[in-house]
Amino acid sequence: MAEEKKGELGSELSRRQFFTKLGLGSLSIAAVGTAAFSYQYLEPNVLYEPSPVVNAGKPDRYPLDSVTLDVNNGIYIIHSQEGYFSLSAVCTHLGCMTAWKQELGIIACPCHGSKFEQNGKKIEGPAPKPLPWKRVWLNDDGDLLVDRSTDVPPLARDSFVRV
């Protein structure tokens, strides 16, 4: 009978053993969390963004005096008498996508009412600056390339691509 009680008492968890196991379990969980956050900290955060250089295709795709919006890349390709040039299609006010209004011959922001000339110059509205011109050139295959990350001075001689 004494052995039965001893067996039962031996299988019970004392208060000290309970708190020891609870403490060790808590420390284990904290250690695993620390290891996970350490791994995340040491792993490089790399943003894989698309190239800012856009292939706009062959120049003959754009008729003379045309304004073509490339919605996916946020640029206009414009073929004027002086040559080809590119504008950002993002409004300088709050970053809305602008739209070419052919019947009016202007670029307009549908959200806040800014209006721009075909060359990007601001006509009216809350936009603080004109639409920026983007660098354009021809590659070896004869395609128009636009660098969305590089602004060029507007109406400068070297801002146009002549074919």
Same domain membership, residue 87 and residue 21? no
The reply to whether 47 falls in a domain is no
The residues facing 115 across adjacent strands are 108, 124
Query: b/e per residue, 56-92, with b = 16+ CB within 10 A?
Result: beebeebeeeebbbbeebbbbbbbeeeebbbbbbbbb
Average pLDDT value over all residues in the chain = 87
The reply to whether 35 falls in a domain is yes
The reply to whether 127 falls in a domain is yes
**Considering the chain, what percentage of its residues have pLDDT values greater than 70?**
93
CATH code of 68's domain: 2.102.10.10
The reply to whether 63 falls in a domain is yes
The reply to whether 140 falls in a domain is yes
Band the pLDDT of 23: cuts 50, 70, 90: very high
SS3 2: helix
User: So what's the pLDDT on residue 5?
Assistant: 52
CA atoms of 80 and 69, how far apart (whole Å): 15
Is residue 145 within 8 Å of 51, Cβ to Cβ?
A: no
User: So what's the pLDDT on residue 115?
Assistant: 93
106: enclosing H helix or E strand: strand 106-108
The pTM assigned to this predicted structure is 0.68
Work out the average pLDDT over 85-91. 92
The residues facing 137 across adjacent strands are 145
- Domain region containing 154: 53-159
Residue 10 has pLDDT above 70, yes or no: no
Tens of pLDDT, residue by residue over 27-52, are 999 999 999 999 988 888 888 888 88
User: Locate tokens 């110059």: which residue?
Assistant: 121
